[in-house]
Chains A and B, each alone.
Chain A
Amino acid sequence: MKMEGVTKIYRTGLVETRALRNFSLEVEEGEFVTITGPSGSGKTTFLNVAGLLDAFDEGKYWLDGLDVSRLTDREMSRIRNEKIGFIFQSFNLIPDLDVFDNVDVPLRYRRLAAKERRERIERAVAQVGLTSRLRHLPSQLSGGQQQRVAIARVLAGDPKLILADEPTGNLDSGMAREIMDLLEEINRAGATLVMVTHNPEYAARAHRRLHIADGRLVDLERITPLPLNRRTGEARQAAAPAG
């Protein structure tokens, strides 16, 4: 995943708000990157743009080597479906559907055969330990269980890139740790993980930590962890790595 000078402008009436400013970033395959920043700094916009949920106004964005700015809605949907997995703070399960059907949603849009879908769903749900709750509705599950269903939904789709938006924000610390363990496990299995979080403890578990402030990206750490205070006050813009 590679962004170059990506800018996102929100227009309401005459006022323009630059949610992302000249945003450049490269995340390598298999990497675990966390993003922190105050609310309103543009973290969510970044995830939306990265997840092809939102268009951007300037700059370039390559995903898995593909220039996404020229894609049609159908092609973008297909990439979201096959290559990207989302995990949200508020889980975003479909309330009318039970666990099985929720995990089934992305597979449906992939037009897989019924047998394969069933196998994938059952495997994914087993992996998050909810096999006994297959026919429960989200409202019948605890917050942690709901988030595990959301993770199973990602697992079933087997994406290359997982975008997580404060996945532990609504959970108590015990459950949050379980979710983090699960995510790290998926990352170790090969998926790239980009996670927005407020929690410095979880942020520290990443290979690399980024900070967004006022729509700009600040590279806190690259590969080798460095003391946080060294960079304080010296925030600089990450130079786009050449090539």
Chain B
Amino acid sequence: MLLYNLRLAWHSLRRYPMLSALIIAGIALGVGVATPAITTLHVLGQDPIPQRSSVLYYVRMDSWDPVAPHPSASGIPSQITYRDMREIMKSRIPVRQTASFPAALYIYPADRNVRPSRETVRLVFSDFFPMFDVPFRYGSGWDKAADAKPEAVVVISHALNARLFGGHDSVGRTIRIADRELRVVGVLAPWRPRIRFYDLLGNATREPESIFMPFNWIEPMEIHSAGTRDGWKAMEGNPTYLESLHASETVFLQMWVELPDPARARAYHDFLDAYVREQKRFGRFQRPLDNRVTPLLDLMAEWQIVGPYFKAIAAISILFLIVASLNLIGLFLGKFLARAPVVGIRRALGASRSAIFLQHLIECELVGLIGGGLGLLMSAGVLAVMNKGFERITHIEDLFQLDAVMVLAAVLLSLAAGAIAGIYPAWRICSLPPAQHLKNQ
């Protein structure tokens, strides 16, 4: 019966080619607008590291000014201080943990004729690589011993390896960063998460840094953060960088911990609370106790990583599809009612109301799917244009891509559009009294 109905629908489409083209164009337009809009939400909002997101927690503490809350929406600083990081890193509760911050350092090529280049650097602990599932092409991260010392080791990005070493296995070679020679222990495979989940501050679609080096180089190399620094209390006199690191209330570190289950997360939260209560005795943390251990995905939601305008545009695009479908109600209605005599014959010959309803709804859904197919092609075009647009900001060539989920979404959207456009006309035509439209004379 489905095949029969599809054949009838096909007949009917070919019978009024202009009308059919108009309806199909309407649905194609609707799907072609709504699918890319949903794709942007899907791509930006999807779990960037699904295999690990449930165990990764971001640590925040309200170490801010006793007089006024932090001006951000959450009311607490987005990062932590160096001195607090040193203390809470002593906890054994997390399975893995890392503080990190971005910096900008010069690397000096062996060839004196090539100008030094400024590279993006991230200082991390060895746990960073397994915690965030960082993929390696050659070698690996460093070990805990290298963290502590710190050893003169470095992990470089695929692109930097290509630039410096022509893409060959450079493990064991050295590069000069600022005033040190560091040995390459790992080269990353190409790694371009769409959301840079380990650093969600600022533009979260930036690409990962070119260089990862042991965190503890911060002191001997006096490395300053090139990211967001936030402070409320100036220090007396003119302290050196090292002095200020250990005594300052400036927050600039992002702290991540891996906690395998909620019980551990609670235990860690208790640990933080205990630490802050102790600090309060020394006159720090004068604000009400407010420590947060936030799962990655919750943090993404809280910081609105998917920009509100994306959501607004997606909402409007879906409404657009609905209006486009509403428009088709009129066209289908006219088309179906013009066919009332034929429906009368079918009813006389034994078609039940539901059979007629089904026949016409299937016609609408067929139109919906054809329109949806065209809309999908259109979506691909729209996404290509959008990728060009976003490339300037994100430097990702193909930020948005139609994947299976999106194809499925387009199919569902077109079926929904077909249903919105078709249910009322199909119901109208099937509930016409059969006798009235039979040509009796």
Tell me, yes or no, whether A binds B.
Answer: yes
Cα distance A88–B348 when bound, in Å? 11
Q: Which residue of A lies closest to B430 (CB)?
A: A73
Q: How large is the interface on B (under 10, 10 to 19, 20 to 34, 35 or more residues)?
A: 20 to 34
Cα distance A108–B347 when bound, in Å? 12
| B146 is an interface residue with CB less than 8 A from chain A | no
Contacts of B438 in A (CB 8 A): 53, 88, 92
Interface size on A, residues (CB 8 A): 32
Q: Is the CB of B15 within 8 A of A96?
A: yes
Q: Which residue of A lies closest to B440 (CB)?
A: A44
Contacts of A44 in B (CB 8 A): 440
Q: Is the CB of A73 within 8 A of B346?
A: no
Query: Known interface pairs A77-B347, A88-B439. Does A96 touch B11 (Cβ–Cβ under 8 Å)?
Result: yes
B311-337 Cβ-contact flags toward A at 8 Å (1 or 0)? 000000000000000000000000000
Cα distance A17–B12 when bound, in Å? 37
A75-94 Cβ-contact flags toward B at 8 Å (1 or 0)? 01110111000101110111
Q: Is the CB of B440 within 8 A of A109?
A: no
Q: Is the CB of B355 within 8 A of A94?
A: no
Q: Is the CB of B15 within 8 A of A77?
A: no
Query: Known interface pairs A53-B435, A54-B433, A54-B435. Does A88 touch B440 (Cβ–Cβ under 8 Å)?
Result: yes
Q: Is the CB of A80 within 8 A of B348?
A: yes
Determine which of A54, A97, A111, A157 lies in contact with B1 in the assembled complex, contact meaning CB atoms within 8 Å. A111
Q: Is the CB of A73 within 8 A of B440?
A: no
Q: Is the CB of A153 within 8 A of B349?
A: yes
Q: Which residue of A lies closest to B356 (CB)?
A: A77
Q: Which residue of B lies closest to A105 (CB)?
A: B349
Q: Which residue of B lies closest to A85 (CB)?
A: B349
Q: Which residue of A lies closest to B350 (CB)?
A: A81
Contacts of B341 in A (CB 8 A): 92
| A106 is an interface residue with CB less than 8 A from chain B | yes
Q: Is the CB of B348 within 8 A of A51?
A: yes
Contacts of A106 in B (CB 8 A): 349-350
Q: Is the CB of B353 within 8 A of A94?
A: no
Q: Is the CB of B348 within 8 A of A73?
A: no
Q: Is the CB of A77 within 8 A of B353?
A: yes
Specify which of B349, B434, B439 lies most central, judged by the most chain A CB atoms within 10 Å of its CB: B349
5 intermolecular pairs with C-beta atoms under 8 Å apart? A48-B435, A73-B354, A77-B351, A80-B347, A88-B438
Q: Which 3 A-B pairs have the closest CB atoms?
A: A81-B350, A77-B352, A53-B435
Since A77-B347, A88-B439 are in contact, a sample of 13 more A-B pairs with Cβ atoms closer than 8 Å, ordered by chain A residue number, is: A53-B347, A86-B348, A86-B349, A88-B440, A92-B341, A94-B345, A94-B346, A96-B11, A96-B15, A97-B11, A109-B352, A110-B350, A111-B1
Binding site for B on A (CB under 8 A): 44, 48, 51, 53-54, 73-74, 76-78, 80-82, 86, 88-90, 92-97, 105-106, 108-111, 153, 157, 165
